[in-house]
Chain A
Amino acid sequence: MSLLVTGLGVVAPTGVGVEAHWESLLRGEHAIGPIEGFDPTQYGISLAGQVRGFDPDEHVAPQLKVQTDRWTWMSLAAATLAAEDAGYTAPEDVYATSVFLASGSGGNEFSQHEIQGLWARGPKAVGAYQSIAWFYAASTGQVSIRDGYKGPSGVVVSEGAGGLDSIGWARRVARRGTPAVLVGGTEAGMCPYALLCQATSGRLSTATRPEEAYLPFDRRANGHVVGEGGAILLVEEPGAARARGAQRVWGEVAGYGATHDAHHHEDPAPDATQYARAIRLALADAGVSPDEVDLVVADGAGTPELDALELAAIGAVFGSRSTPVPVTAPSSWTGRLMAGGSALNVATALLAMRDGIVPGTAHLQQPVEAPGVDLVQATRVQELRTVVVLARGAGGFNSSLVLRRDPVGAAA
């Protein structure tokens, strides 16, 4: 099942809108900075990738804004941007469009206010919108309602792998007859309680300087920085996209594969077997050989152990190439956006293919040993026809997506 990506909507620490995001990445601007909004000192962390330029009033109607969490505001904004980018308006067949998003931690800030009211002042302090604002399906439901999309909609949760998995599930939806699906997701876990929850993973960097905090594939890697935002993409069945005269095709979703380590509730499997298998499944699905892959956009967890495992997985699949495969981790510029992060990486990969530019990995000055892998330090010009995007979710989720710049499956 081949799908075309016909629209991108980005709300990310790097910017609101796909071009703002891309320009920020190419300029090598740090979107990671001191946490604003509250003092996080006692959580042992001080940095985050917040979406600073986001004004919800520009994107969300007032009556909808009061019913929803920041996470949903970002989804609503990104969904609009994606549809506008695609020139997509709801077709006459109301069932022809689906919303299938990844979710991570739900409506955190909204919920912390309501639960504080409950415990400080009693049940009557809980407002009428708590029941619809915090649960994991809120963004999908609100997008579907606002835009009138009645197709089979869904919500998947696989932590950081969710963005890719939503695309994998969208293929099943499309295979069963729904030609257009909004995919991806956003995340907003920046209130004190959600941040504390994330800090208990022990995987957050305690560094105080942005250039030392989130350093995937660097010898100094010491954890990651939390980010917010994400991306929503419109994917369409090729015939339907052609039939409606889609102006732009960003690329083709050519293959997808997902596995689970099934090793331990917390620790990754000590070998990268299942991660490598997810990559192989996606390549086989796309009918692409490892030699044809021009770039791997990595998960880039930013801890020495997880980075080594990712490089082992990539090495196992691509190690026999005559030239090492280029690998970059653009999330190093934004922080990890959980469910939104892998969706944003798909958008970044499509931008990279459009312009033939590979964004480098932030502050990668002391790369780890990575046989068979070409870690991209500085932004470089390179023609990109086929890009693999990787993602992992805490607990052992492994996902892989193959993107092609020039659709071939569409002809079939």
Chain B
Amino acid sequence: MSTERRRVVVTGIGVVAPGSMGREGFWDMITAGRTATRRITFFDPARFRSQVAAEVDFDGRALGLSAQEIHRNDRFVQMAMVAADEAVADSGLRFGAGGADDAPDPDRVGVTLGTAVGATMRLEQEYVSVSDAGAHWLVDPRYASRFLAHALVPSCGATELAVRFGAHGPATVVSTGCTSGIDAVGYGSQLVEDGDADVVIAGASDAPISPISMACFDTIRATTDSNDDPEHASKPFDARRNGFVMGEGSAVLVLEELEHARRRGAEVYCEVTGYASRCNAFHMTGLKPDGTEMAEAIREALGQGRIDPAEVGYVNAHGSGTKQNDRHETAAVHKSLGPAAERVAMSSIKSMVGHSLGAIGSIEIAATALAVQRGVLPPTANYEVPDPECDLDYVPKVAREQKVDVALSVGSGFGGFQSAIVLASPSRRTE
């Protein structure tokens, strides 16, 4: 085995996000500081505590999906397909062609797709029919779609992407709750590093804006009740924050081994120089304020690329807008970056696109990669009232032009999962 570490770069990005269309629409929106949170339209939310969400106005047919692809797949898979199509087109790779620099060996192409709740929307819609809206425990098979077996197990999403691009390498769905989107890109990077793939289609997707998902977060008051002002409902790091705003969407990246990308002269957004995760082994939903385990994940991820904390120019925060998360995360950044934390810019795009559970990790990585490439940091919208426990530079309301060599994206989720990924500019100077 070669001792030279195989390096991983991002050569394609595709995004399906609320309030926008595609990667560039998403970028324009978040750098304009525009919010996509609104009163829920997918169902009547009147009986719910939280009535706000960041919905995608998604038309699969208009975005290139066939009628049958839509029929058999839950929304989370449909959005992943659209995001992956955009990422692959962006990368310039030709899948399934074979025999040229821009046509990877299909056996060497992998898929890692993250999702927290999989086909929950489809499962709920079908449940309503087969149970007659909860009237029967013994559900009626005569009302069932024949694609329910797909919906039951979210690995259908990885299958759809593998089939779509003829990817015969290792494929998996990653489902670590709200860190799924970081972990999926992290695992994809590991596939390339370990020599098991040259190209990985890596990303995440979730479509949780359905009654059961809203209800289960209602009861634990994790979501906001700022129902009278939906546009300003997501307030990460602000003293007035009162819970997260549910979102949906998908982002997919094309990860490529550096030499593979160089040979074909591919444009590189950034390099993935490190990824790590830790568990807090504390509580399924609770966070200790000290941020110890997230700090440990950040330190480990930086260490893999031998990056000094002082080099980190931007932290793309988990910033969900719950009281405990934003405090926890601020502490973790202090703990891991030390004095450098006082100079680092950190923002949460959840203020604009909501919290799409597992998907958001990949959407945030996409935002971070674009920030590194373009030298612009997306802001934290709605940030007005400082909280003494959240004392970092959160890039309030207005995007900032700032060249960044190294950026960090972090996530935290139910189950105690804490993840961090490090992206570096290809032009970064290293000794």
B213-227 contacts to A, CB under 8 A, are: 214-220, 222
B135 / chain A contacts, CB cutoff of 8 Å: 120
* Partner-contacting stretch, out of B110-118, B390-398, B423-431: B110-118
A123 / chain B contacts, CB cutoff of 8 Å: 47-49, 211, 214-215, 218
Interface string of B187-229 (1 = CB under 8 A from A): 1001000100000000000000001101111111010000000
User: Which listed residue, B47, B134, B152, B280, touches A197 by the CB 8 Å rule?
Assistant: B152
Check if A2 is an interface residue, CB within 8 A of chain B.
Answer: no
> Measured between C-beta atoms, what is the minimum distance from B6 to chain A in Å?
13
> Measured between C-beta atoms, what is the minimum distance from B373 to chain A in Å?
27
State A115–B127 Cα separation when bound (angstroms). 8
State A159–B145 Cα separation when bound (angstroms). 19
State A44–B177 Cα separation when bound (angstroms). 34
A114 near B139 with CB under 8 A, answer no
Interface size class of A (residues with CB under 8 A): 35 or more
A43 / chain B contacts, CB cutoff of 8 Å: 141
> Measured between C-beta atoms, what is the minimum distance from B206 to chain A in Å?
11
- Can you show 30 pairs from A to B with CB atoms below 8 A apart? A67-B284, A115-B134, A115-B212, A116-B134, A117-B134, A123-B211, A126-B218, A131-B414, A136-B116, A137-B175, A137-B176, A140-B176, A141-B415, A142-B284, A148-B281, A151-B278, A152-B277, A152-B279, A152-B297, A154-B176, A155-B174, A157-B173, A176-B190, A192-B139, A200-B146, A262-B162, A265-B156, A277-B107, A394-B149, A396-B162
User: Which listed residue, B107, B215, B278, touches A130 by the CB 8 Å rule?
Assistant: B215
Check if A42 is an interface residue, CB within 8 A of chain B.
Answer: yes
> Measured between C-beta atoms, what is the minimum distance from B221 to chain A in Å?
10
B280-309 contacts to A, CB under 8 A, are: 280-285, 293, 296-297
A260 near B276 with CB under 8 A, answer no
**Given A193-B130, A198-B149, A262-B167; A38-B138 close (CB under 8 Å):** yes
Check if B240 is an interface residue, CB within 8 A of chain A.
Answer: no
**Given A137-B417, A154-B183; A120-B153 close (CB under 8 Å):** no
Interface string of A23-67 (1 = CB under 8 A from B): 000000000000000110011100000000000000000000001
Interface size class of B (residues with CB under 8 A): 35 or more
State A193–B122 Cα separation when bound (angstroms). 13
State A94–B293 Cα separation when bound (angstroms). 10
A192 near B172 with CB under 8 A, answer no
Check if B160 is an interface residue, CB within 8 A of chain A.
Answer: yes
Check if B319 is an interface residue, CB within 8 A of chain A.
Answer: no
A175 near B194 with CB under 8 A, answer yes
A118 / chain B contacts, CB cutoff of 8 Å: 134, 211-212, 215
A119 near B133 with CB under 8 A, answer yes
> Measured between C-beta atoms, what is the minimum distance from B257 to chain A in Å?
16
B277 near A154 with CB under 8 A, answer yes
Check if A158 is an interface residue, CB within 8 A of chain B.
Answer: yes
State A147–B417 Cα separation when bound (angstroms). 15
Interface string of B49-70 (1 = CB under 8 A from A): 1000000000000000000000
B173 near A193 with CB under 8 A, answer no
> Measured between C-beta atoms, what is the minimum distance from A196 to chain B in Å?
5
A187-241 contacts to B, CB under 8 A, are: 189, 192-194, 196-202
> Measured between C-beta atoms, what is the minimum distance from B303 to chain A in Å?
10
A44 / chain B contacts, CB cutoff of 8 Å: 141
> Measured between C-beta atoms, what is the minimum distance from A337 to chain B in Å?
13
**Given A43-B141, A114-B216, A118-B134; A99-B169 close (CB under 8 Å):** no
Check if A248 is an interface residue, CB within 8 A of chain B.
Answer: no
Chain A residues engaging chain B, CB cutoff 8 angstroms: 38-39, 42-44, 67, 94-95, 99, 103-106, 111-112, 114-124, 126-128, 130-132, 135-138, 140-142, 144-145, 147-159, 162, 165, 168-169, 172, 175-176, 189, 192-194, 196-202, 258-266, 274, 277, 338, 393-397
Interface string of B405-425 (1 = CB under 8 A from A): 000000001111100000000
Check if B375 is an interface residue, CB within 8 A of chain A.
Answer: no
User: Which listed residue, A42, A104, A120, touches B133 by the CB 8 Å rule?
Assistant: A120
A162 / chain B contacts, CB cutoff of 8 Å: 155
B107 / chain A contacts, CB cutoff of 8 Å: 259, 277
> Measured between C-beta atoms, what is the minimum distance from A344 to chain B in Å?
17
A157 near B131 with CB under 8 A, answer no
**Given A126-B216, A259-B169, A262-B166; A189-B152 close (CB under 8 Å):** yes
B160 near A265 with CB under 8 A, answer yes
B123 / chain A contacts, CB cutoff of 8 Å: 197
A104 / chain B contacts, CB cutoff of 8 Å: 153
A151 / chain B contacts, CB cutoff of 8 Å: 278-279
Most chain B CB inside 10 Å of its own CB: which residue of A115, A151, A175, A396: A115
Check if B171 is an interface residue, CB within 8 A of chain A.
Answer: yes
B176 near A153 with CB under 8 A, answer yes
A144 / chain B contacts, CB cutoff of 8 Å: 279, 281, 415-416
Check if B324 is an interface residue, CB within 8 A of chain A.
Answer: no
State A201–B296 Cα separation when bound (angstroms). 43
B153 near A150 with CB under 8 A, answer no
> Measured between C-beta atoms, what is the minimum distance from A7 to chain B in Å?
19
* Residue on B nearest A263 in the bound complex, by CB: B163
> Measured between C-beta atoms, what is the minimum distance from B382 to chain A in Å?
25
State A44–B140 Cα separation when bound (angstroms). 12
B159 near A395 with CB under 8 A, answer yes
User: Which listed residue, B175, B190, B212, B280, touches A172 by the CB 8 Å rule?
Assistant: B190
A172 / chain B contacts, CB cutoff of 8 Å: 187, 190, 194
Most chain B CB inside 10 Å of its own CB: which residue of A39, A147, A393: A393
